[in-house]
């Protein structure tokens, strides 16, 4: 049973579905809206003799009301197992400093930070090159189809990045491209829609932003891992070989301490603690970047 009056237009149906899905993740809402919009547009194209209101009434009878569709998507999302365990409704476990060692989100975020430099360079190069060529081809006959192709490629890159974000950071992102424009739209109307779609520009901004963010993420991850594992390796090597190569001229007492077995064991402990700090930083970076990706890449 649908609550309230039945929608009379596709836009009204989508708005009702959006309201019914309030509180769900932005990625789930985006997928639901895209699926329904594509289905309704296909129904309109296949039955042009019916009016929009009559067609929607028929669709609601067979496909379901917005509220029913929302419940279906919620149930489907609950049954799908993602890369990370779903949070408990009332979590009782305590999050201490050392518990991060068992958090898969920390390792996923750390891997994402290591990959972000390569992906950031590629995204930035592709976007800058595409924008430059689009402006350069604007006066030529191939300018219009090239602009559409470039916008489509940016949407595909945004989808790929969303899959990386969901797989490594655990943030629900769209799993399909937005609904395509209806076939009867002219090429100029498609360009207008692409240029007036805020997500086109926010996706481009995100792809450009990934270069400076990727540099920062990569430096934090590599420096943190190198420092922690380097200290651990140097201390263990000194313990095994009985030789310490620590040179601290300004603090001879510290150099003497680090030349002894207790001092080297303390250095191992400090290296391990540094690794835990790196995991905490990675988890925090993953949470922050997940919010950035959700705001800039999810089209609602």
In-domain check, residue 92: no
DSSP string, 226-281: HHHHHHHHHHHHHHHHS------TT-HHHHHHTTSHHHHHHHHHHHHHHHHHHHHH
Tokens of 45: 């194209």
Domain total in the chain: 2
- Alpha-carbon distance of 177 to 37, in angstroms, equals 12
- When comparing pLDDT for 123 and 59, which is higher? 123
**Domain of 4, in residue numbers:** 1-81
Same domain, 173 and 102: yes
Q: Which pLDDT belongs to residue 290?
A: 94
Q: Which residues contact 253 (CB under 8 A, 6 or more apart)?
A: none
> Last residue of some domain: 11, 46, 81?
81
Taking the chain, what is the end-to-end CA distance rounded to the nearest angstrom? 25
- Mean pLDDT (whole number) for 117-138: 93
Q: How confident is the model at residue 89 (pLDDT cuts 50, 70, 90)?
A: very low
Same domain, 229 and 130: yes
Q: Which pLDDT belongs to residue 1?
A: 43
Sign, CA torsion 130/135/140/141: positive
Q: Which pLDDT belongs to residue 96?
A: 75
Q: Which pLDDT belongs to residue 256?
A: 64
Same domain, 197 and 284: yes
Same domain, 298 and 229: yes
- Alpha-carbon distance of 244 to 286, in angstroms, equals 38
Q: Which pLDDT belongs to residue 16?
A: 86
Q: Which pLDDT belongs to residue 116?
A: 96
Q: What is the pLDDT of residues 203-252, one digit of tens each?
A: 999 999 999 999 999 999 999 999 999 888 888 888 888 776 666 666 66
Of the candidate ranges 94-98, 168-172, 271-275, the one whose mean pLDDT is the lowest: 94-98
């Amino acid at each position: 049973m649908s609550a309230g009056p039945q929608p009379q237009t596709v836009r009204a149906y989508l708005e009702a579905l959006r309201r019914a899905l309030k509180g769900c993740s932005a990625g789930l809402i985006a997928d639901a809206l895209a699926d329904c919009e594509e289905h309704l547009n296909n129904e309109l194209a296949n039955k042009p003799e019916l009016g929009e209101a009559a067609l929607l009434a028929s669709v609601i009878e067979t496909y379901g009301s917005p509220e029913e569709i929302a419940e279906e998507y919620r149930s489907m999302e609950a049954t799908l197992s993602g890369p990370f365990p779903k949070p408990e409704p009332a979590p009782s476990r305590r999050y201490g400093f050392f518990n991060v060692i068992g958090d898969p989100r920390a390792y996923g975020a750390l891997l994402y930070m290591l990959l972000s430099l390569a992906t950031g360079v590629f995204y930035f190069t592709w976007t800058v090159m595409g924008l430059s060529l689009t402006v350069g081809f604007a006066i030529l006959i191939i300018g219009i189809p090239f602009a559409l192709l470039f916008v489509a490629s940016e949407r595909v890159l945004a989808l790929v990045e969303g899959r990386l974000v969901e797989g490594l950071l655990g943030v629900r992102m769209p799993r399909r491209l937005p609904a395509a424009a209806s076939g009867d739209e002219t090429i100029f109307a498609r360009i207008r829609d692409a240029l007036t779609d805020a997500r086109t520009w926010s996706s481009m901004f995100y792809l450009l932003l990934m270069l400076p963010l990727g540099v920062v993420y990569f430096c934090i991850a590599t420096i943190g891992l190198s420092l922690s594992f380097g200290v651990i390796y140097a201390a263990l090597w000194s313990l095994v070989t009985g030789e310490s190569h620590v040179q601290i001229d300004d603090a001879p007492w510290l150099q003497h301490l680090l030349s002894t077995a207790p001092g080297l064991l303390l250095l191992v402990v400090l290296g391990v603690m540094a690794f835990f700090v790196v995991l905490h930083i990675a988890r925090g970076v993953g949470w922050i970047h997940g919010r950035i990706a959700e705001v800039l890449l999810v089209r609602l």
